[in-house]
Amino acid sequence: MGLAAGSMCSTIIFDGDDTLWRTMPLYTAAKRRFFALMSNLGFDAKCVEEEFEARDMKNVSAWGFTVERFRRSMVETYEAFARRQGKSPTLRVEQRISQVATSIVRNKTRPMPRAKEVLRTLHGRCRLVLLTKGEYALQERRVAESGFSEFFERAVIVEHKNRETFLRVVRELDVTPEHTWSVGDSLRSDVIPALEAGLNAVWIPQETWGYESAEMTGKHRVLQARTIRELPQILRKAGGAIR
């Protein structure tokens, strides 16, 4: 799996959530508990799921990638369904829903299989940078819990990722986009904006949610890995990835 001895590759900008450590399973478990709770209250679970997902994506513009957005989306969905049935939302139910939503903070994430091995392989041969988005305090805690901090030259936490974000990081690192790679699970956040900024990208698909879905076009050229374990081999084979 390793790189050739003495080889040197370009700068690699890693995503955190669901690239180096698992967070989506925490959200999925919380959503299932919410849908089950709503079903027990007499609401159609499928309709609840559809409305929640649409509302949660819409709320990104106001609340970003925060636990509060996730919580509000659940509470707002409950309130909407209750009122449609002529019922008044209750504080007791809203409190239960809030506890379900915030469980994603109370539960720890788990490292992706082989992530540490891959980082150890690349460390010292490539410049490694972490670029993750979300609430600063929560992301900072996840970075610390992962045990991966030692491998990164820099850890950058942002509210959103777009073309300008990648250009700013490249500029601050004093590297050229064409010699820089973005590695992540999200087409919308990790791959497409990196390519638009002139970087190379490796996409490692994982379970995600509607907001992170995106369509690739003919102008987007991205390498794809089934798991993070394949990353060193992909970089070794990619033209210009290792010099």
| CATH number for the domain running over 11-22+110-237 | 3.40.50.1000
Architecture of domain 25-106: Orthogonal Bundle (1.10)
CA distance 123 to 151: 6
For residue 225, the number of C-alpha atoms closer than 13 Å in the C-beta half-sphere is: 22
Collect the ranges in the chain with pLDDT lower than 70. Answer: 1-9, 214-220, 239-243
| Residue 200: strand pairing partners | 181
For the whole model, what pTM was predicted? 0.88
Q: What pLDDT shows up at residue 208?
A: 78
CA distance linking residue 109 with residue 214, whole number of Å = 25
**Domain-wise residue ranges, the chain:** 11-22+110-237, 25-106
pLDDT at 220: 57
What's the pLDDT at 7? Answer: 45
What pLDDT is attached to residue 32? Answer: 97
pLDDT value at position 122? 95
Q: What is the per-residue pLDDT for 222?
A: 83
Question: d(Cα 170, Cα 202) in Å, to the nearest integer?
Answer: 17
